[in-house]
Amino acid sequence: MTGGELTLGAVLARLEEREGEITAQAEATEEQIAQLTAQLNELNRAAEEVRINRKTLLELPDPQPSAPPAPKLPDHPAYQQIMAVFAPTIHCGRGRSARRWT
C-alpha cells in the first residue's frame, strides 16, 4: 500500500465524520427554518390585521360635515335690551306680525 491509498477503516471513518457534519448542518438548517416560519407567521398575522383594519375603515360611512359653530352673541347689556324689545314679535310668528303692520 502506498501513502496515497486509504484503508477501508479510514474511508469509513471519513464517511462517519462527513455524516456528522451534514447532520449538524441539517439540524442548524431546521432551526433556521423554524425561526423563519415563526417570523413568516407573525408577518402574515400582521398583514391580516392591516387588511381587516383597512376593510373596516372602508365600510365606515363618510362623516357628515359638522354644522358651523353658533355665532357668539354679545354680552353687552344694550344687546340684551334690544333683544328684549324684539322678543315678543320673534315668538309670535311672522303671520301675526305681518298683519299687525298692514
Q: What is the pLDDT along the chain (102 residues), one digit of tens a residue?
A: 455 688 999 999 999 999 999 999 999 999 999 999 999 999 999 999 999 999 999 999 988 888 888 888 888 888 888 888 888 766 555 555 444 454
Q: Is residue 60 within 8 Å of residue 52, measured between CB atoms?
A: no
Q: How many angstroms separate the CA atoms of 81 and 88, rounded?
A: 13
DSSP the chain: --TT---HHHHHHHHHHHHHHHHHHHHHHHHHHHHHHHHHHHHHHHHHHHHHHHHHHHHSPPPPPPPPPPPPPP--HHHHHHHHHHHHHHHH-HHHHHHHH-
Whether the full predicted model's pTM is greater than 0.75, yes or no, is no
Amino acid letter at 96? R
Query: Alpha-carbon distance 97 to 84, whole Å?
Result: 16
